[in-house]
Amino acid sequence: MKIVVAVSGINAVDNPGPGTGICKALKESDLDIRTIGLAYDAMEPGVYMDNIIDKSYIMPYPSGSREAFIERIKHIHSVEKIDVIISALDAELPIYMDIEPVLQELGIKMLIPTKEMFKTRDKLRLKELAETIGVKAPEYRSCTSIRDLHDSTENVGFPCMVKGPFYEAFKANNISEAEGYFHKIAMAWGYPIIVQKFITGDEYDVIGCGDGKGNDIGVFAIRKMTITKLGKVWNAVSIKNEKLIEATRKVVKGLSWRGGFEFEVLVESSSQDIYVLEINPRFPAWVYFAAGCGINLPERMVKLLLNKEYETNSNYDSGKLMIRFTNEMIKDIKDFEQISTTGET
Domain boundary among 197, 228, 263: 197
Mean pLDDT of all residues belonging to the chain: 94
72 and 156, same domain (yes or no): no
Question: For the chain, how many structural domains are there in total?
Answer: 2
3-class secondary-structure state, position 323: strand
102 and 150, same domain (yes or no): no
20 and 62, same domain (yes or no): yes
101 and 145, same domain (yes or no): no
For residues 9 and 19, give the distance between their C-alpha atoms in angstroms, rounded to a whole number: 4
Let me know the angle formed at the C-alpha of 118 by 112 and 123, rounded to the nearest 5 degrees. Answer: 135
For residues 211 and 229, give the distance between their C-alpha atoms in angstroms, rounded to a whole number: 34
Q: Which of 197, 246, 181 is nearest to 219 (CA)?
A: 246
Burial tier of 271 (Cβ tally within 10 Å: 0-12, 13-18, 19+):
exposed
Bridge partner list, 188: none
Tell me whether residue 122 is in a domain: no
Q: Residue 164: how many CB atoms within 10 A of its CB?
A: 23
pLDDT average, residue stretch 282-310: 98
39 and 84, same domain (yes or no): yes
Tell me whether residue 174 is in a domain: yes
9 and 91, same domain (yes or no): yes
Tell me whether residue 221 is in a domain: no
Q: What pLDDT is recorded for position 5?
A: 98
Half-sphere exposure at residue 41, Cβ-oriented, CA atoms within 13 angstroms: 9
Looking at the chain, the whole-number percentage of residues with pLDDT higher than 90 is 79
Determine how β-strand 216-227 pairs with β-strand 258-268. unpaired
Domain boundary among 197, 222, 237: 197
Q: What pLDDT is recorded for position 230?
A: 75
**Who's near 271: CB < 8 A, 6+ residues apart?**
none
Q: Residue 26: how many CB atoms within 10 A of its CB?
A: 26
Tell me whether residue 64 is in a domain: yes
* pLDDT of 221 strictly over 90: yes
Q: 137 — phi, psi (to 5°)? A: -135, 135
Q: Tens digit of pLDDT for each residue in 230-241?
A: 778 999 999 998
DSSP result, 231-269: S-EEEEEEE--HHHHHHHHHHHHHHT-EEEEEEEEEEET
190 and 94, same domain (yes or no): no
Half-sphere exposure at residue 330, Cβ-oriented, CA atoms within 13 angstroms: 0
3-class secondary-structure state, position 324: coil
**Who's near 228: CB < 8 A, 6+ residues apart?**
14, 234
Q: What pLDDT is recorded for position 107?
A: 98
Tell me whether residue 62 is in a domain: yes
Q: Tens digit of pLDDT for each residue in 166-217?
A: 778 899 999 999 999 999 999 988 999 999 999 999 999 999 999 999 999 9
Work out the pLDDT band at 18, boundaries 50, 70, 90.
Answer: very high
Q: What pLDDT is recorded for position 262?
A: 96
Q: Which of 230, 225, 229 is nearest to 202 (CA)?
A: 225
Q: What pLDDT is recorded for position 331?
A: 95
CATH no. for residue 28?
Answer: 3.40.50.20
Tell me whether residue 125 is in a domain: no
CATH no. for residue 146?
Answer: 3.30.1490.20
Q: What pLDDT is recorded for position 88?
A: 96
Q: What pLDDT is recorded for position 189?
A: 87
Tell me whether residue 213 is in a domain: no
Q: Show the DSSP H helices in the chain as ranges.
A: 19-27, 66-80, 93-106, 115-120, 126-133, 146-156, 175-189, 242-255, 287-292, 297-305, 333-342
81 and 17, same domain (yes or no): yes
Q: What pLDDT is recorded for position 96?
A: 98
91 and 22, same domain (yes or no): yes
70 and 24, same domain (yes or no): yes
For residues 214 and 7, give the distance between their C-alpha atoms in angstroms, rounded to a whole number: 25
Q: What pLDDT is recorded for position 125?
A: 80
Q: Tens digit of pLDDT for each residue in 92-141?
A: 999 999 999 999 999 999 999 999 888 888 777 888 888 888 889 899 89
For residues 143 and 165, give the distance between their C-alpha atoms in angstroms, rounded to a whole number: 10
Domain that holds residue 58: 3-111+330-342
Is the separation of the CB atoms in 239 and 122 below 8 Å?
no
Is the separation of the CB atoms in 160 and 219 below 8 Å?
no
Tell me whether residue 184 is in a domain: yes
